[in-house]
Amino acid sequence: MTTLRIVIVMFLWAICFPLIVTGLPLAPHLSFATLRAVIAGIALLGVAFYLKRPMPKGWTTWWQLAGIGICATTLGFLGMFHAAEFINPGMATVIANTQPLLAAFLAHHFLDERLNMKEKGGLGLGFAGILVITTPRFIDGAAGNYLIGMTYILLAALGITVSNVLIKKMSGSVDAIMAMGWQLILGGIPLAVISLLTENPTTITWSGKFLVSLISLALFGTALVYWMWYLILQDTSLTHANVFSFLVPLFGLVLGVAFYNEALTASMIIGAGITASGIWMMGRPEKAQ
């Protein structure tokens, strides 16, 4: 059941970038990001209050929620939304998928999660497969401004990595719906402030296309994803769950071929096979001695 939840989360994450790209021409970046966070946070808190879930207690808990919000929502959304303007999906995929590697490093030092050789090999294979898939996109020069785009997507990956460590440390001690709802609201506050200082939110084009993109991204790509991810980290290690992040670009390839008429190349097929092997290696249970 946990593995199925992880796969569903990764599929929902895979559709986030196309939804962001769809909505960006219709709204300032951070205004769009703020709306995504606030709508998702309100939706989760609404469900939590309706179900009479317990409120987080203690200043330590609230500081942790604020830390998760700033890392996952403020930095994560700021990086993703700005990166979408400067960088193509191939470049974004490679840099964003350093996140499982960063998470494994932090989990080793702060969560006492130790990787055996099989797990290290699986993690390396997963990343190697992504490199095989995306290297041709670097060579063809299709990406935009590499330096700016890489900076933003790396900022997002770093923020999400740190937030995952904080979520893992908190998981089980605070109700999942309450925790994720409040972190989205707390993380959305800095986004709103920066947006008001640097953008003009009145220029949002409130079209049907924008609303579909926004609501889908907020409810399914954010509220549902964060709630499920919190539950996942209650039951499994951060490193084990995170290796499934390599599924995101694989789902992206399938969606691109199915809905955007993208060609399926040899490098995509080979890279997908390598990445799938890495995920299988990480998820395969140890043989009994």
Other beta carbons less than 10 A from residue 186's beta carbon: 20
Span 76-99, pLDDT tens digits: 899 888 877 776 655 555 556 666
pLDDT attached to residue 208: 92
Other beta carbons less than 10 A from residue 147's beta carbon: 9
Residue 23: strand, helix, or coil: helix
pLDDT band at 14 (very low <50, low <70, confident <90, very high): confident
Domain range annotation of the chain: 2-283
pLDDT attached to residue 178: 96
CB 107 within 8 A of CB 147: no
Residue 79: strand, helix, or coil: helix
Enter the pTM of the model. 0.81
pLDDT band at 27 (very low <50, low <70, confident <90, very high): very high
Average pLDDT over residues 23-45: 94
DSSP string, 154-203: HHHHHHHHHHHHHHHHHBTTB-HHHHHHHHHHHHHHHHHHHHHHH--GGG
pLDDT band at 146 (very low <50, low <70, confident <90, very high): low
Distance of alpha carbon 32 from alpha carbon 27, whole angstroms: 6
